[in-house]
Amino acid sequence: MDCPNDKTPMNQIPAGISKKTNRPYPAFWSCPTCKHTENVTPDEKFVQNEYPHETEKREAKEQTRQDSIIRQHSQHMAMLWFQARGIENFMDEELTERINWFDKDVEDHTK
């Protein structure tokens, strides 16, 4: 689509969340030179997803969070493992070994 003002090809801006207001906005066209905008009409085939790099960034962030939750769970389970056996004095290496064991167990069950 070309801008009606200066005939420059307009950019497709996908629907998203405003960084200023934190409110959702619909997909629209935007002129890179004069900043003219137009709404997307229902008959237009317009991709209203986020940009690929935003998807990758979001997925990486979600994976990091998931990994952190799994690690916290493994640490908690390792402490419970020692507690259930009445072991109060253990070495850091033993704790790390048990945490890694629980990490692997979670990994094996989520594949």
What pLDDT is attached to residue 46?
57
| Cα(55)–Cα(61) distance, integer angstroms | 10
Write the burial class of residue 106 (CB in 10 Å: 0-12 exposed, 13-18 middle, 19+ buried): middle
**pLDDT digits 0-9 by tens, 81-110:** 999 999 999 899 999 999 999 988 888 877
* Mean per-residue pLDDT, 7-23: 88
Residue 111 pLDDT greater than 90, yes or no? no
Q: What is the pTM of this model?
A: 0.49
**pLDDT digits 0-9 by tens, 45-57:** 655 455 666 777 8
User: Of all residues in the chain, what percent are helix, strand and coil, respectively (each to 5)?
Assistant: 45, 15, 40
What pLDDT is attached to residue 6?
93
